């Protein structure tokens, strides 16, 4: 399972240093909030441009916005290689995904905790990634919703039934207590925010999480 630190909970007065501290991550996760789709504001493409200059890691933009079609090009131009839009916010989801890919980026879809997986069926082959929200979007530091474990396992089965190869990502409340269980459930990418950018060194916290993932997956292999 790959780890994607979210800079939402990083120290923005020392953002370059924070990103440098997690240089061993697999990608950087960017939570883009507009204050309309979710009750919070985060940052825009100018900050993303600055982040792009500080790291060679891939940047993924999670657009929690009401107008993803008009905003996606900004973040692609700013340096994001993957754009994730919310199914609930897109009026014409297939068109949104095609527009992203036509601009040279990869496309993903995010689902809120209460959104059923079936909305993905007719676009599943167009997706690079499915992001399952394990908290209600809008704020960092929330508690993981346990019902998402079953949702992950169901999506793993649906991916096989649909003969698709998209990655399954989980975002919200991921920490040392649940990251091993997420790996065993079939998650490919975990977004880690306050679990990394909390007290102490972000790089060390990231590596501890990675060791937990490796140990959990080794334990699962040993049971087979």
* Tens digits of residue pLDDT in 173-199: 999 999 999 999 999 999 999 999 988
Predicted confidence at residue 29, as pLDDT, reads 98
Q: How confident is the model at residue 45 (pLDDT cuts 50, 70, 90)?
A: very high
- Which residues are within 8 A (CB) of 161 and not within 5 positions of it... i.e. 6 or more apart? none
Spacing of C-alpha 149 from chain mean position: 16
For tokens 């982040």, name the residue.
Answer: 51
pLDDT at 220 over 80: no
Beta-strand relationship, 167-171 and 189-192 = parallel
* Lookup: tokens for 183: 């790996």
- Which residues are within 8 A (CB) of 7 and not within 5 positions of it... i.e. 6 or more apart? 15, 18, 19, 28, 29, 30, 31, 51, 197
- Residues 144, 34, 59, CA angle at the centre, nearest 5°? 70
* Tens digits of residue pLDDT in 126-139: 999 999 999 998 77
Closest CA to 7 of 27, 37, 35: 27
Percent of the chain whose pLDDT exceeds 70: 97
Q: From CA 215, how far away is CA 211, in angstroms rounded?
A: 6
DSSP, residue by residue, 133-193? ESS-TT-SSPPP-TTHHHHHHHHHHHHHHTT---EEEEESS--TTTHHHHHHHT-SEEEES
Percent of the chain whose pLDDT exceeds 90: 92
* Tens digits of residue pLDDT in 198-210: 889 999 999 999 9
List 138's β-bridge partners, or say none: none
Q: From CA 222, how far away is CA 224, in angstroms rounded?
A: 6
- Which residues are within 8 A (CB) of 159 and not within 5 positions of it... i.e. 6 or more apart? 124, 165, 166, 168
The pLDDT mean for the chain works out to 95
Predicted confidence at residue 138, as pLDDT, reads 77
Closest CA to 55 of 28, 73, 35: 28
Residue 56 known to be catalytic:
no
26, 31, 69, 177: the active-site residue: 31
Predicted confidence at residue 135, as pLDDT, reads 95
Predicted confidence at residue 223, as pLDDT, reads 66
* Tens digits of residue pLDDT in 94-107: 999 999 999 999 99
Q: Taking a C-beta distance cutoff of 8 angstroms, is the pair 2, 171 a contact? A: no
Predicted confidence at residue 196, as pLDDT, reads 96
Residue 171 known to be catalytic:
yes
Predicted confidence at residue 224, as pLDDT, reads 61
pTM: 0.95
């Amino acid at each position: 399972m790959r780890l994607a630190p979210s800079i939402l909970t990083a120290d923005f007065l020392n953002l370059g240093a924070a990103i440098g501290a997690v240089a061993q991550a697999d990608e950087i996760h960017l939570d883009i909030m507009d204050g309309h789709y979710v009750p919070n504001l985060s940052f825009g493409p100018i900050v993303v441009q600055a982040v792009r200059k500080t790291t060679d890691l891939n940047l993924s933009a999670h657009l929690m916005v009401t107008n993803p079609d008009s905003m996606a090009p900004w973040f692609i131009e700013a340096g994001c290689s993957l754009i994730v839009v919310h199914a609930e916010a897109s009026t014409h989801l297939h068109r949104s995904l095609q527009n992203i890919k036509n601009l040279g980026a990869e496309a993903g879809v995010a689902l809120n905790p209460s959104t059923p997986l079936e909305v993905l069926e007719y676009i599943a082959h167009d997706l690079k990634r499915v992001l399952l929200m394990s908290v209600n979007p809008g704020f960092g530091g929330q508690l993981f919703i346990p019902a998402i474990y079953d949702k992950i396992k169901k999506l793993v089965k649906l991916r096989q039934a649909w003969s698709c190869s998209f990655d399954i990502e989980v975002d919200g409340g991921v920490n040392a207590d649940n990251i091993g269980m997420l790996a065993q459930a079939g998650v490919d990418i975990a977004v880690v925010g306050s679990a990394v950018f909390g007290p102490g060194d972000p790089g060390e916290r990231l590596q501890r999480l990675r060791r937990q993932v490796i140990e959990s997956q080794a334990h699962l292999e040993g049971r087979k």
